């Protein structure tokens, strides 16, 4: 099946642009709703960081290092590289007797407005702590210390990545047909949209007092919902949508327009991919599905921010709006 139109941009009463995608809502009994091709194979990118973090907890490495929910939220984060993020990751690494140089995520300018301005205006250079994946990598380093693996923990055959792949494939319920190198240099494993939604349903239904994997999944979900500002940052969709859902959903974006949601109260998981990689559409689409599931109030400003009923130009004139495509949401 082909991708279906999901998000439309209208101007002057005319459809100007449209985004198509695939989405699945997975419940306790399987697929409850689907759009496009549920079997489409995608790279989850950063939307599956909570899957990559499972071995960190299941191995006992997290407890051995005394990690709290803030660190677990950072392990699942694509953070903005603001002060609250970089300081927390730096302290975490120091607690392990490690430093920024042990990371293998690479360097990019932080998205956080204040930190970006501070670096720009002081001619300062960003470091790996600013990388949006530095928390995930701190988690990898924590697991690696426990596994006593080599320093190049992002290599495909490294014990850390073998553990991440095994956990990913087991929870997704599929053998990854492909893998690619992510922006942060870690391997990213492909799966179907249904597999990703199934994994999120597992997280949603996970019993905190269950086996190692169940309790790990439940704890990671709780950590993400407890620290939405650490999972992304000020003004970001993941942060604002989790705050708006007030404990009813953990949501996470991935590059190239992937989005997932974990709905613990409903034992439901959601996964979607906008095929053109348009983030604006992925954010609008997940917001619509959160409303559909009843965990996001459509009257909440976080919804209209992602699916604007009135888009304004530089002089404040309304020129159009974003809409859900017929049949979606």
Contact between 236 and 244 (Cβ < 8 Å) = no
**191-192/250-254 β-pairing:** unpaired
Q: Does 285 bind a copy of itself (CB under 8 A)?
A: no
Site for a copy of itself (CB under 8 A): which residue of 49, 79, 104, 306? 104
Q: Which stretch binds a copy of itself (CB under 8 A): 85-93, 113-121, 208-216, 283-291?
A: 113-121
Buried b (16+ CB within 10 A) or exposed e, 85-120: bbebbbebbeeeebebebbbbeeeebbbeebbeebe
Q: In angstroms, what CA-CA distances link 132 with 120, 184, 249?
A: 18, 8, 21
Q: What's phi and psi for 232, nearest 5 deg? A: -145, -90
| Helix-helix angle 193-205:212-226, to 10 degrees | 90
The two tokens of residue 282 are 């992925």
Q: Across-strand partners of 216?
A: none
Return the number of the residue (125 or 299) whose C-beta is nearest a copy of itself: 125
**DSSP symbols for 196-218:** HHHHHHHHHH--TTSSHHHHHHH
H or E segment to which residue 221 belongs: helix 212-226
Q: Which stretch binds a copy of itself (CB under 8 A): 64-72, 135-143, 233-241, 272-280?
A: 272-280
- CA nearest to 107, candidates 119, 94, 95, 121: 119
Q: Does 256 bind a copy of itself (CB under 8 A)?
A: yes
Site for a copy of itself (CB under 8 A): which residue of 125, 157, 299, 314? 314
Residues 178-197: x/- map of binding to a copy of itself (CB under 8 A)?
Answer: xxxxxxxx--x-x-------
Q: Does 329 bind a copy of itself (CB under 8 A)?
A: no
Site for a copy of itself (CB under 8 A): which residue of 105, 206, 242, 289? 105
Q: Does 317 bind a copy of itself (CB under 8 A)?
A: yes
Return the number of the residue (13 or 66) whose C-beta is nearest a copy of itself: 13
Q: Which stretch binds a copy of itself (CB under 8 A): 9-17, 27-35, 74-82, 165-173?
A: 9-17
Residues 60-99: x/- map of binding to a copy of itself (CB under 8 A)?
Answer: ----------------------------------------
In angstroms, give the least distance from the CB of 262 to a copy of itself: 23
Q: Which residues bind a copy of itself (CB under 8 A)?
A: 9, 11-14, 16-20, 41-43, 104-108, 117, 120-121, 131, 177-185, 188, 190, 256-257, 274-278, 281, 313-315, 317-320
């Amino acid at each position: 099946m082909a991708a279906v139109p999901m998000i439309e941009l209208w101007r002057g009463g005319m459809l100007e642009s449209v985004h198509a995608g695939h989405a699945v809502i997975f419940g306790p009994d399987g697929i409850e709703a689907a759009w496009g091709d549920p079997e489409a194979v995608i790279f989850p990118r950063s939307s599956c960081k909570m899957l990559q973090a499972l071995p960190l907890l299941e191995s006992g490495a997290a407890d051995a290092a005394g990690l709290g929910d803030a660190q677990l939220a950072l392990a699942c984060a694509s953070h903005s590289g603001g002060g609250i993020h970089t300081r927390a990751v730096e302290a975490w690494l120091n607690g392990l007797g490690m430093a920024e140089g042990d990371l293998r995520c690479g360097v990019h300018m932080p998205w956080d407005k204040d930190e970006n301005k501070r670096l720009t205006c002081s001619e300062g250079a960003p470091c790996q702590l600013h990388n949006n994946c530095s928390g995930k990598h701190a988690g990898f380093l924590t697991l690696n210390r426990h596994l006593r693996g080599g320093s190049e923990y992002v290599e495909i055959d490294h014990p850390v990545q073998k553990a991440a792949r095994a956990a990913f494939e087991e929870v997704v319920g599929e053998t990854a047909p492909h893998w690619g190198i992510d922006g942060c240099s870690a391997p990213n494993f492909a799966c179907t949209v249904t597999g990703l939604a199934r994994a999120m349903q597992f997280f949603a239904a996970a019993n905190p007092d269950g086996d190692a994997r169940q309790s790990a999944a439940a704890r990671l979900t709780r950590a993400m919902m407890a620290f939405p500002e650490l999972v992304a940052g000020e003004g970001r969709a993941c942060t604002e949508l989790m705050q708006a859902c007030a404990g009813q959903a953990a949501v996470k974006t991935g590059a190239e327009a992937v989005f997932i949601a974990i709905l613990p109260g409903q034992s439901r998981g959601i996964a979607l991919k906008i095929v053109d990689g348009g983030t604006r559409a992925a954010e609008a689409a997940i917001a619509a599905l959160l409303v559909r599931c009843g965990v996001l109030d459509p009257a909440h400003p976080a919804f209209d921010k992602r699916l604007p009923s009135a888009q304004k130009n530089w002089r404040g004139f309304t020129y159009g709006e974003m809409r859900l495509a017929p049949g979606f949401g």
